[in-house]
Amino acid sequence: MIESNSVKLRVEDLTLIFGKRKKEALEMLMQGASKAKILEQTKCAVGINRASFEVYEGEIFVVMGLSGSGKSSLIRCLNRLNEPTSGKVFFKGEDITGESNNELLHTRRFEMSMVFQKFGLLPHKTILENAAFGLEIRGDDKIEREKKALDALETVGLKGYEDLYPSAMSGGMQQRVGLARALANDTEVLLMDEAFSALDPLIKSDMQDELLQIQKKVQKTIVFITHDLDEAIKLGDRIMIMKDGIIEQIGTAEEILTNPASDYVSAFVEKVDRKTIITAESLMFTKPSILRLDKDGPMRAIRKMREQGVKFLPVEDEQRAFVGYVWLRDVLDLADNKEKSLDKALKTEVPSVYKEYTVEEMLPLISGNNYPLAVVEKDNGRLLGLVTQTSLIIEATRFGDEEVKHLIRKANDI
Amino acid sequence: MERIIDLGKYIEIGINALEENFSFLWSAMDEGITWIVDSINSLLLGTPFIVFLIIVILLAYYAKTGNKMFKKEGIKEGIGLVLFIVIGLSLIYAMGYWEDAMHTTTLVLVSTFIALVLGIPLGILSAKNKTADVIIKPILDFMQTMPAFVYLIPAIFFFSVGNTPGIVATVIFSLPPAVRLTSLGIKNVPEDVVEAGRAYGATGKQILRKIELPLAMPTILTGVNQAILLALSMVVIASMVGAKGLGSIVYQGIQQNDVAKGFESGLGIVILAIILDRITQSFANRR
């Protein structure tokens, strides 16, 4: 089977059923029976219902759902801690579900490592021995595994703690050891099952930052399970939302927030602070008409504005980089004076942002003069689109933020 | 009252059949156990009292204090036990029961050893395998509650009088805690640690050796401790079928109505029990 390089894990029609009469339950499920009916007739619980998705190389793929959504069962199917009832899991194009015992051990030892909610550290081993545990299991010799474990401990910021025992450490530090153990194996895939859910909020936030830092360095493919949407948004390159064993939606945080695929997802994302997630890219209107400073004169500018029914237009230079706006009244003055160029009417001190700016970051740029925010390409300054101040305020005030209300009042006063 | 069923008779027939058909097995067992008992006995009796005392003190002190052995707090912790051992063993020696005490120690060591060799694997089996657990449990109940004297009758039958029937009866009596506590210890190993082992590709053997047994060790050692104490409690009963040691002195005391003898030898058993208990308990409570 040919598979594109960037897909690291591919899950096809994965179904997991708990209980004794799995076959019967699976048949009913395929015929479209409901979970409740299957439970009633066969005493089998459907954990995952025909899930299909792909995880790309180097991304953090977050699986989000409430308890009972099947997310933890799902991650355990990826390394077959749970044996899938039907469906396939491909790792780099190879079907893991068909692997023999020895192949499976190899996969667990060399291809995927796992971080657990309850850490899963061995109380009778030191921090160093714990970090080296995966290597010990796969038979690396002592010198080599201690070296790798030390490196991993340094990566997670636990240098100097090697000889302590887990009981002497806080939850956050224990989970760093759990992470070091996973990193020491140097597998391509990291499976993180609610890895930060047992930690205090502040420590949790620290660990998230730390994980993002480490990820920049190591570029692993990470499957991260969580029930916390804020965590999903912070960490996830893409997020998959699950409910009752069914995938509700897969997409970036922004896609999910701006375009929820179901009522369940929209109910879920309602509480999220959108200010920090919605970016300029999704708010801007694209392909505005643009004036060329070197080509277009006042007469052409007036005609364009009339055509579009607008009072201003953005202007770019000969390299097609955004330089500013011209306003209709200024251009009319130029035309009266028989000027040939737009230079004198050009307002260059205008706000511009990049497409990944969030609403929160753009809010301070709101001003009384009602210029739209120009969204420009980072490297060549080309105009991608415009974000009007009104749309920015509407986006922000959905949540009745006092600060934003004040800004509107200020804007109206002028 | 009229007997409707003569269960005992069938048991007797069964025991007889076992005795006749497997006599080679019983005599081999008898020879093996006798050989082990004799070797350990001659080793213990060959060791001068003072050397024995020092070895026991060092062992107990190490068990009690571990890596704090040479620190001040270690000495504080261990000194009580050391004093007790010195006084207790010297008292046994001074009362003239040293040889008997060594016979008893041998009996306890050998039967505990056999109980553990059988009990720990059985405990692991019953923790891992539900069917085995269902079968083993009622057998253990039977072994523990059936009065110990009852074992003595067939034991004599198979092995005639001497140390062997005593040891066999003692093993039967002290086996259950070894099995039960091993099983309990392994069942109580947190699921998440075992799962971590599986996730990293550990085989069943690796999980047992590197995760389950080390984590269950304190509970297993409590089982060892219980097995030793139960074995000690059996020495008087074992002496009724000819096992030598302090137990037989107690037995003589009972038969001769000799309070002094009975009390002295009984006290000797108590001293041995306390020393063995403290040493094994200290190992169990480590960390």
CATH number, domain containing residue B156:
1.10.3720.10
Spell out where A141-282 has E strands: 189-193, 221-226, 238-243, 246-251
Chain A positions touching B201 (Cβ under 8 A) are 104-109, 134, 137-138
Nearest alpha carbon to residue A375 among A357, A395, A399, A396: A357
Establish if A105 touches chain B: CB-CB under 8 angstroms. yes
CA–CA dist B265, B276 (Å, integer): 17
Amino acid at A38: I
Nearest alpha carbon to residue A51 among A233, A252, A242: A242
Q: B144 pLDDT band (50/70/90 cuts)?
A: confident
**With an 8 Å Cβ cutoff, are B195 and A120 in contact?**
yes
Q: Which of A124, A163, A181 to probe by mutation at the B interface, max B CB count within 10 Å?
A: A124
Q: What's the confidence (pLDDT) of residue B121?
A: 96
Residue whose entry in the numeric block shows the structure tokens 């505005």: A288
Residue B61 belongs to some domain of the structure: no
Residue whose entry in the numeric block shows the structure tokens 């910021």: A157
Chain A positions touching B206 (Cβ under 8 A) are 137
Q: Which of A122, A177, A191, A225 to probe by mutation at the B interface, max B CB count within 10 Å?
A: A122
CA–CA dist B127, B133 (Å, integer): 7
pLDDT at B10 > cutoff 70: yes
CA distance B274 to chain A (A): 28
Strand, coil or helix: B139? helix
Residue B245 belongs to some domain of the structure: yes
**With an 8 Å Cβ cutoff, are B200 and A185 in contact?**
yes
> What is the arithmetic mean of pLDDT over B123-143?
93
- Nearest residue in chain A measured CA to CA from B216: A124
Q: What's the confidence (pLDDT) of residue A113?
A: 94
CA–CA dist B110, B44 (Å, integer): 13
Give percent helix, percent strand, percent coil of chain B, each to the nearest 5: 85, 0, 15
At A73-86, the pLDDT tens digits run: 999 999 999 999 99
The CATH classification number of A7-276 equals 3.40.50.300
**With an 8 Å Cβ cutoff, are A120 and B193 in contact?**
yes
CA distance B154 to chain A (A): 45
Q: What's the confidence (pLDDT) of residue A409?
A: 66
Chain B positions touching A185 (Cβ under 8 A) are 200
Q: What's the confidence (pLDDT) of residue A4?
A: 47
**With an 8 Å Cβ cutoff, are B210 and A106 in contact?**
no
Beta bridge partners of B285: none
Range(s) for CATH 3.40.50.300 in chain A? 7-276
Chains A–B, number of C-beta pairs less than 8 Å apart:
61
- Nearest residue in chain B measured CA to CA from A182: B200
Is residue A162 packed enough to be buried (19+ CB in 10 Å), middle (13-18) or exposed (0-12)? Answer: middle
- Nearest residue in chain B measured CA to CA from A113: B200
Contact B270, B254 (CB under 8 A): no
**With an 8 Å Cβ cutoff, are A81 and B202 in contact?**
no
Q: B126 pLDDT band (50/70/90 cuts)?
A: very high
CA–CA dist A32, B121 (Å, integer): 48
**With an 8 Å Cβ cutoff, are A122 and B202 in contact?**
no
Q: Which of B191, B195, B200 to probe by mutation at the A interface, max A CB count within 10 Å?
A: B200
**With an 8 Å Cβ cutoff, are B197 and A137 in contact?**
yes
Domain span at residue B275 reads 18-47+96-284
- Nearest residue in chain B measured CA to CA from A167: B287
> What is the arithmetic mean of pLDDT over B30-55?
93
CA distance A116 to chain B (A): 8
Residue B87 belongs to some domain of the structure: no
Establish if A138 touches chain B: CB-CB under 8 angstroms. yes
> What is the arithmetic mean of pLDDT over B154-171?
86
Chain A positions touching B198 (Cβ under 8 A) are 81, 108
At B199-211, the pLDDT tens digits run: 999 999 999 999 9
The shortest CB-CB distance from A113 to any of B200, B210, B214 is to B200
Chain B positions touching A124 (Cβ under 8 A) are 214-215, 217, 287
The shortest CB-CB distance from A105 to any of B203, B211, B215 is to B203
Q: Which residues of chain A have pLDDT under 70?
A: 1-5, 273, 368-369, 396-414
The shortest CB-CB distance from B193 to any of A104, A109, A122 is to A122
The CATH classification number of A280-413 equals 3.10.580.10
Contact B62, B69 (CB under 8 A): yes
Give the total number of structural domains in chain B: 1
**With an 8 Å Cβ cutoff, are A106 and B201 in contact?**
yes
**With an 8 Å Cβ cutoff, are B200 and A133 in contact?**
yes
Kindly provide the ipTM of the predicted complex, given to two decimals: 0.78
pLDDT at B237 > cutoff 50: yes
Contact B43, B106 (CB under 8 A): no
Percent of chain B with pLDDT over 90: 66
CB contact burial A58-79 (16+ within 10 A = b; e otherwise): ebbbbbbbeeebbbbbbbbbbb
Establish if A299 touches chain B: CB-CB under 8 angstroms. no
- Nearest residue in chain A measured CA to CA from B189: A122
CA distance B201 to chain A (A): 5
**With an 8 Å Cβ cutoff, are A114 and B200 in contact?**
yes
At B67-97, the pLDDT tens digits run: 777 888 888 888 899 999 999 999 999 999 9
Residue B106 belongs to some domain of the structure: yes
User: Which tokens belong to B183?
Assistant: 């099983």
CA distance B237 to chain A (A): 41
Q: What's the confidence (pLDDT) of residue A2?
A: 41
At A155-168, the pLDDT tens digits run: 998 999 999 999 99
**With an 8 Å Cβ cutoff, are B200 and A81 in contact?**
no
**With an 8 Å Cβ cutoff, are B199 and A118 in contact?**
no
The shortest CB-CB distance from A138 to any of B193, B199, B201 is to B201
Residue B173 belongs to some domain of the structure: yes
